[in-house]
Amino acid sequence: MNLSHISDELLKNEYTSRFGLKTGDTLIQNSQAAVDHLRQYFIDEPDRELFVVLFLNGRNQIIATDTLASGTISTASVFPREIVKAVLKHKSTAVILAHSHPSGNPEASRDDIKITRKLRDALATIDVRIHDHLILSGNRNEFTSMADKGLL
């Protein structure tokens, strides 16, 4: 079967419609559900580190998902004030952070842990919780949940 006539955009749209979670009634109940939803945000930039935030309401329903930073193959600059500004814009009460490691290693680095704690402290001042910080590997099949590893 020759599928070369199918565009990348058509494939992405099909993936999003099948696996992307809708805003409103959709609840995020575990890290795998969050990763399944977030994967689509990393497809277009496989060689760049991206930082994506999933904004949730008080019932852990999705309000929005935004890419807030795009970097190089090994880093993306994340600024607490920008995260706080986006949280206030979406009127979010909780977030799930996610970023990619194009290298393929999904383990949290010291810098990942440091920025997560810095963001946790900044968001705590406005009563917003970080439920998780997910790190997706370069091939997107593996991930690390910092919450599951007790790193939050």
pLDDT tens track for 95-142: 999 999 988 889 999 999 999 999 999 999 999 999 999 999 876 578
Average pLDDT, the chain: 84
**Token duo for residue 50:** 């991206």
**Which residue range forms the structural domain that includes residue 94?**
8-145
Do the domain assignments include residue 105?
Answer: yes
- Exposed (0-12), middle (13-18) or buried (19+): which is 96, by Cβ within 10 Å? buried
Task: Say if 117 falls within a structural domain.
Answer: yes
Residue 2 located in a structural domain = no
State the pLDDT at residue 15: 55
The pTM (predicted TM-score) of the whole model is 0.81
Domain at 61, CATH number = 3.40.140.10
**150 within a domain of the structure (yes/no):** no
Q: What is the pLDDT of residue 3?
A: 61
- Indicate whether 62 belongs to any domain: yes
* Residues 67-100 pLDDT 10s: 999 877 777 888 999 999 999 999 999 999 999 9
Structural domains in the chain (count): 1
Residue 22 domain flag: yes
Would 42 be classed as within a structural domain?
yes
Q: Is residue 152 part of a domain?
A: no
pLDDT at 17 over 80: no
Instruction: Compute how many other C-beta atoms are within 10 angstroms of the C-beta atom of residue 35.
Output: 21
